[in-house]
Amino acid sequence: MAGEGKTGKTKVLQEETRIFEPPKELVENSNVMKYMKKKGIKTEKELRETCSKNYIEFWDEMAKEYVDWFEPYSKVMDDSDMPYFKWFTGGLVNMTHNAVDRHAKGAKKDKIAYIWVPEPTDQATQKITYGELAKEVNKFANGLKSLGVKKGDRVSLYMPMIPQLPIAMLAIAKIGAIHSIVFSGFSAKGFGDRVKDCEAKVAITTDGFYRRGKPMPLKANADEAIADAPSVEHLIVFKRTGIDVNWKEGRDIWWHDLVKGKPEECEAEKLDPEHRLFILYTSGTTGKPKGIEHAQGGYCVGPAQTLHWVFDLKEDDVWWCTADIGWITGHSYIVYGPLCLGVTGIMYEGSPDFPDFGRWWKLIQDHKVTVLYTAPTAIRMFMKQGAEWPAKYDLSSLRLLGSVGEPINPEAWMWYREHIGGGKLQIMDTWWQTETGTFICSPLPITPLKPGSCTFPLPGFNTTIYDELGNEVPLGEGGNIVNETPWPSMLRAFYGDKERYHKEYWEMYWETPKRGTYLAGDKATRDKDGYFWIQGRIDDVLSVAGHRIANAEVESAIVAHPNAAEAAVIGKPDEIKGESIVAFVILNVGVDPSPELSKDVITHVRKTLGPVAAPTEVHFVNDLPKTRSGKIMRRVVKAKALGNPTGDTSALANPEAVEGIPLIV
């Protein structure tokens, strides 16, 4: 499991010997087999190896196959300014032209792009065709223009899972502005910090959203967030729930007023492929979130091609990725990938357990979903509720399953195959990151599977495992997972922080013969057959229900509480969420520990960072083990709290502090 390093679960995974061969029919009819036949490639190994070895030719071929270029590019990849790789130099492109316009103006005009399922069961499902989507996007794009939004301007989004979210993204991309989406479960401060960092000109939110059937406020948070963000000139508000909102005249504008009377046509900006498509913040080792930048050109290639090959999408498939669009999975595989392919996708607004644990399974039955892509944390939650929930519904429309976000433990994998996949469906366990934009290691429909392994690097990727010095480790051993060559949908930079971009991903192997190798930040091993097993993050980042949260960010929120002096945050293995957050807190002198105070600290973090980052347990301690330079040794705190050996602690400034850490398991 994430964060477990080389202990426990990892060993069990490595001993996995079960192999699940893909059914012949799936293999024979797969998109990837079609490609292999065309190229005269005989085996999966040959496919993966040839495309990766000749990665420039491969991505060139894919870019021509999957993307409509306004102007063809003259150079596939430019590495003259490493690590600022550039792709498709000389071309002109627009994501929204590829994702919407070419379908709306062609044979797919009346094909359904999205089936949107609202959370309240008394509200009607909406089906939106590519033609309708194009009109909505254009009206909104014209609305943005009327507010003065121009090419290169940033627009921050803070919205629930409603169709207006992809509409806004596509409109922003169409006019060459840059979107920055913040997951709507983040607190006002979380949103505000990100708006300020990217200096957004306009922000978009809703009056409220539905949570387990009840309307909840959202604009109030956005108001608080942008109150001290001087760059924000306008706040666009979509009316989702009808709840009361405060209104700032001159700044706030209703979505419906903005689009009223706007033309249904809007020409796409013809953009340099390196022009930024979006910024998405993710957690790093320090408390400060990093704004990962992605580029238009590469993004037109990556999500569509990987989705087509891995999930084998065909004209009549109904695709459902259950992620929230606020995370990278939603960006790539709810919005850009499926739309570029012109497939029909599901968007579900709400909780998996509303009104009961049958909601997802009913949705699959009602809309005849054929391919389901979800996260291990959801699978484990359903496992806990029992197989009788999915058993009530007809899931026979499903033909392929997927998993993302963290290692899927073999037990959950087997349950998923058995109870959702009718005991026969293959599971595509896709390993990737906000930074990579698309799947990197993943099975194809032709791959024999081992439960818990993301199998092999996809064609076009030179992904392997290095030791600290840049030597490839032999099969059977572990180390840092790296990409030796660039790829089109890779991150381009951090917004406003060149140095940190270099430091986090490239510095590790810069002074070795492997200069230009990308350090992913995960540990992995390969077994004797070359299957990859992801072990979790190298750095101090928690993985809670598939979300990356920096220990440092939670700690800094805790010490902002008036009674807290210092804090160390660790991840405790959690059956459902992967990890739960446990905090050890030193109180200010004169403050007495109490259960109320512990609750208060939790509430404080919830308010500052949002519910995902709230600790489930807070323990008050007198001291925390520190290095002589004053750095709190989380690793030692974690080992002691979980009952593992703490190792040699004699070099610590205060070895006696270890004794005061309570055992929490």
In angstroms, the CA 82 to CA 78 distance is 9
For residue 508, give the DSSP letter: G
Nearer to ligand WTA, 275 or 537 (CB): 537
Least separation, in Å, of the C-beta of 578 and ligand WTA? 9
Exposed e or buried b per residue across 444-479, where buried means at least 16 C-beta atoms within 10 angstroms of its C-beta: bbbbebbbbbbbbbbbbbbbbbbeeebeebeeeebb
Neighbour tally for 621: CB within 10 Å: 18
In angstroms, the CA 97 to CA 103 distance is 9
Which of 434, 480, 580, 608 binds ligand WTA (CB under 6 A)? It is 434
Least separation, in Å, of the C-beta of 520 and ligand WTA? 6
In angstroms, the CA 551 to CA 448 distance is 37
Q: Does 429 bind ligand WTA (CB under 6 A)?
A: yes
Nearer to ligand WTA, 236 or 441 (CB): 441
Q: Does 431 bind ligand WTA (CB under 6 A)?
A: yes
Least separation, in Å, of the C-beta of 434 and ligand WTA? 3
Nearer to ligand WTA, 10 or 296 (CB): 10
Residues 310-369 close enough to bind ligand WTA by CB under 6 A? 327-329
Nearer to ligand WTA, 135 or 380 (CB): 380
Least separation, in Å, of the C-beta of 131 and ligand WTA? 31
Strand stretches in 389-539, DSSP E: 400-404, 427-430, 463-466, 478-483, 493-494, 518-526, 532-537
Residues 280-299 close enough to bind ligand WTA by CB under 6 A? 282
Which of 63, 168, 400, 454 binds ligand WTA (CB under 6 A)? It is 454
Q: Of the candidates 622, 437, 578, which has an alpha carbon nearest to the alpha carbon of residue 520? A: 437
Site string for ligand WTA, 552-591 (x = CB under 6 A): ----------------------------------------
Tell me if 77 sits within 8 A of 87, measured CB to CB. Answer: yes
Q: Does 406 bind ligand WTA (CB under 6 A)?
A: yes
Give the number of residues in contact with ligand WTA, rule: CB under 6 A: 21
Nearer to ligand WTA, 73 or 299 (CB): 299
| N- to C-terminal Cα separation, the chain | 17
Least separation, in Å, of the C-beta of 378 and ligand WTA? 13
Nearer to ligand WTA, 449 or 621 (CB): 449
Q: At what angle do helices 595-609 and 551-559 cross, to 10 degrees?
A: 120
Q: Of the candidates 526, 608, 618, which has an alpha carbon nearest to the alpha carbon of residue 580? A: 618
Which of 302, 407, 457, 478 binds ligand WTA (CB under 6 A)? It is 407
Q: Which residues contact 441 (CB under 8 A, 6 or more apart)?
A: 430, 431, 432, 454, 455, 456, 457, 458, 461, 463, 481, 532, 534
Residues 517-536 close enough to bind ligand WTA by CB under 6 A? 521-522, 534
**Four-point Cα dihedral 70, 315, 329, 427, nearest 10:** -140
* Secondary structure (3-state) at 437: coil
Least separation, in Å, of the C-beta of 288 and ligand WTA? 16
State which residue has the least CB distance to ligand WTA: 434
Q: Does 438 bind ligand WTA (CB under 6 A)?
A: no
Nearer to ligand WTA, 534 or 564 (CB): 534
Q: Of the candidates 424, 173, 179, 442, which has an alpha carbon nearest to the alpha carbon of residue 307? A: 442
- Residues in contact with ligand WTA by CB under 6 A are 2, 282, 327-329, 404-407, 429-434, 454, 521-522, 534, 537, 548
